[in-house]
Structure 1
Amino acid sequence: MANPDNYQETLDAAIDKAKEEIQDLSKINIIIAGKSGAGKSTLINAAFGEELTKTGGGAPVTDKISLIENKDFPIRIYDTVGFELKQINQWKTKHSILQILRRTNKTETPDDDIHCLWYCVSATGTSLEDEELNFMKLFLDRNIPVILVLTQAYSLKSANEQKQYAQQKLPQLHSVSILANDSENTTAFGVDQLIELTATLLPDGLQNSFASAQKASLRNKRQAATKLINSAIVANFGTGFVPIPVADAPIMMSIQSTMLVKITTVYGINFQKNKVETALAGALGVFTAISAGKSVATSLIKLIPGGWVIGGTISGTVGAIITGALGYAYIELMEMVAQGKINLSEVAPEELTNLLISLIKQKMPQNLTDLDNINKN
């Protein structure tokens, strides 16, 4: 029989750790620039959710730049007031940006660095001006990635022409066309591509922060979560042999709980709106169900090919398989929560445990070779 004290201690620690993980995520700093009417605010809402702009406000940094941030989001947005054609406004905006770049370069804290520029241009508006290209070059010359965001891309032909022209002038430039909101005749598109492109340009140490902050791409979140599962699988290969029942096997549960906490963080599930502890309790309940000898859970062991359960023990290999399958099942649960298909405030942990067990069965490899392919599911 599983030791309830071990389970409760692990669950309590996991809940505390999840809250700490969210608070400790490294900050990402993105500058969003462009002319007035280019759709910067709409883009911010589509990429990071309305909570950021509603609660983050936009405190003035200079007379041309405001800072949008929220303590619960690992991202800061420097939002320019508008890169207008009047020469004095261009100079003021450029001067304000240079002030920020110089200030952040003086600190040794990576949290202060500017990590990317999104320069927004209406795909149906006027052509790019030389001053706008020169502005983007300021960042490229400092090895800061720049993405030209062709907003309001009702005409992909026009957007592609803008892209080609800009990339002829600035070959290092990245670009993406988007329509942030549905129109009467066209479904919104491109914001997820912008998110995924941005993620490829950020340092590895910021990937989890960015995945947590962004709201537009579940694929980006899944990619970040997959890396966490792979790390947990490797760790479980080293656990050796764990007796069943696993009442005195806190090592495997600890590895699993760390993985689950980090996945929860990547999906950016709001603690105030969702009972995250319910999800963690349900997931850790899978391990407890196995250790308690419940038939629905121990049937999972029988699904593992090759007879790797020897003399009443689970090998590190089997533990790794179970951990991996649990991780991918938990991803499915997090995506259901993110899509509003499951309300964690309305379900019991036992219900989630049973749901996860059914999902785990779908993730189990059919043979030893499939162990290498489990993360493709």
Structure 2
Amino acid sequence: MADMTGQEKFDQQQEELERDLDSRIDSKDLPVANIMVAGITGTGKSTLINAVFGSDMAATGRGKPVTDHIDEYANGDIPIHIWDTVGLELDSEKTRESISAIKSTIASKAGLDDQYDRVHAIWYCINSGSNRYQGAELEFIRELHAIGVPFIIVLTQCSGEEEEVNAFEDEIRKINKSMGMGDIEIVQVLALPVKYRGMAQAIPAFGLDKLVDVTLKLLPTFIKSGFIAAQRVSQSEKRNACEEIICSYVRAAQHGFWDKVPLINVFITDKNIMNMFQKLGEMYNTVLSPESINKIINRSGVDFKNNFFGLISPIDMGYNKKITNLLKQKKEAGFSVKIDDVEKNQRAARMIAFYGYIFVDSIEELWKELTEEKLKDVDMVVNELIRIINKKLSERKTKMDRRR
């Protein structure tokens, strides 16, 4: 048998990773995405990093040197590692040395069999007001792009005249195309609101959600869930990821043998709901311990007694109607609801779907209400989740009673 080409080997690794992830829906660890953020000094890299991943991600002094030219930022609770290029200046000899070292580091990682231990995407930041795209910087971009890592140019600090910023972007695209780099995505971003003297209102931040969306399209599938959980910009991406988690647990219950065996299925379903809650929490940067999840379950009606009657009782108790109504409402509210085909006799699957959507609904509300700082207080988050879940369950019961 002839040796595989590099591309064939890469494709085989991708397939193995996908099978591995599909077979581990109960895995406690999200994959960690490695994003390199490059650019010369003053382009707002730290501001961008903090705006997308949280205000303390790129705090001064928190970086760990990877090489003399790269610092790594990480937070144990967030599945993202940021590789930040340091000390780059336009057309300086030091920059040329840095370019060579950075390119060598990324290329060496790209050649490893372990696809988790490599740079998964590069954000190259350019100040939109510089109007300069040439020299060592352009050469750096050309060399990094040639490695084959997903590459995005981020035009930062886009608070100037829209026509001027658009003209600069057009110039970059024209140059890139002439150099065989026409596939590079360009995203305009204003990471923080800006207010100028004499202005009644500040220019609102924009572009962060687009940067997240573009990055997700370019990232390999096996790493996307970690990036979605880490980013704090796009709620829609978090919702989509949460629906995929719910769907995976529902499908597993549909096809599982023990999920259909009376009494045993109560314990199995309880365990699956606990694991699902943990994974859904991670998507919203909320790391819930088993103790915290137990507290939520015990104090919000998602308990053994409730599941016992929902899964075993020969009397319907209104569960099927309640679940059907919830799935219908979620679809009307913009959820994809890929599991509305679950049959009424698949009681474990339907119960998992019901509690999954109630939890996502609740954590979304919490996400809107609490500041980033408050979300770090796990005890407060758990108590608020219990309050919101109970409120939503009570509202649903009231609606059901009125319809009878």
Q: Establish whether TM, by shorter chain, passes 0.5.
A: yes
1:251 aligns with 2:268: yes
TM-fit CA distance, 1:77: 1.3
Distance 1:247 1:108 in 2: 42
Q: For residues 53-81 of structure 1, what are the alpha-carbon distances to aligned partners after superposition, in whole Å with 9 as ceiling and x for unaligned?
A: 23981123333322222333322211112
Contact 1:83 1:93 in 2 (8 A): yes
1:100 aligns with 2:80: no
Distance 1:19 1:53 in 2: 31
Distance 2:127 2:182 in 1: 20
Q: For residues 214-246 of structure 1, what are the alpha-carbon distances to aligned partners after superposition, in whole Å with 9 as ceiling and x for unaligned?
A: 1122122111111111212222323578588x6
Q: For residues 307-346 of structure 1, what are the alpha-carbon distances to aligned partners after superposition, in whole Å with 9 as ceiling and x for unaligned?
A: xxxxxxx954344333223222211222233334497634
Question: Which amino acid is the alignment partner of residue 137 of structure 1?
Answer: R
Q: For residues 249-308 of structure 1, what are the alpha-carbon distances to aligned partners after superposition, in whole Å with 9 as ceiling and x for unaligned?
A: 223333333322221222221459x95554455567166425357xxx9444333569xx
Q: Tell me what 1:262 maps to.
A: 279
Q: Tell me what 1:115 maps to.
A: 120
Distance 1:363 1:232 in 2: 27
CA RMSD of aligned residues (A): 3.6
TM-fit CA distance, 1:144: 0.7
Distance 2:268 2:26 in 1: 22
Q: Tell me what 2:38 maps to.
A: 33
Question: Which amino acid is the alignment partner of residue 345 of structure 1?
Answer: D
SS of residue in 2 equivalent to 1:171: coil
After TM superposition, the structure 1 = structure 2 runs for residues 1-377 of structure 1, keeping only pairs within 5 Å, are 21=28, 24-54=29-59, 57-155=62-160, 156-168=162-174, 169=176, 170-184=181-195, 185-238=202-255, 249-270=266-287, 275=292, 278-279=295-296, 281=298, 285=302, 288-292=305-309, 298-303=317-322, 315-341=344-370, 345-346=379-380, 347=383, 351-358=387-394
TM-score (norm 2): 0.71
Deviates more, 1:246-255 or 1:158-167: 246-255
Distance 1:304 1:61 in 2: 51
Please, which runs of 5 or more residues in structure 1 have no aligned partner? 1-16, 307-313, 365-377
SS of residue in 2 equivalent to 1:86: coil
Percent sequence identity is: 27
Q: For residues 103-129 of structure 1, what are the alpha-carbon distances to aligned partners after superposition, in whole Å with 9 as ceiling and x for unaligned?
A: 324533222211111011111223222
SS of residue in 2 equivalent to 1:111: coil
SS of residue in 2 equivalent to 1:150: strand
Q: Tell me what 2:313 maps to.
A: none
Rate the CA distance shift 1:243–1:304 in 2: closer, same or farther, 3 A.
farther
Rate the CA distance shift 1:286–1:299 in 2: closer, same or farther, 3 A.
farther
Rate the CA distance shift 1:112–1:180 in 2: closer, same or farther, 3 A.
same
Contact 2:34 2:118 in 1 (8 A): yes
Contact 1:222 1:331 in 2 (8 A): yes
Rate the CA distance shift 1:242–1:103 in 2: closer, same or farther, 3 A.
closer
SS of residue in 2 equivalent to 1:118: strand
SS of residue in 1 equivalent to 2:57: helix
SS of residue in 1 equivalent to 2:89: coil
Distance 2:324 2:232 in 1: 38
TM-score (norm 1): 0.76
Contact 1:233 1:321 in 2 (8 A): yes
Distance 1:55 1:300 in 2: 53
Contact 2:358 2:389 in 1 (8 A): no
The structure, 1 or 2, with the larger RCO (C-alpha pairs under 8 Å, 6+ apart) is: 1
Rate the CA distance shift 1:71–1:248 in 2: closer, same or farther, 3 A.
closer
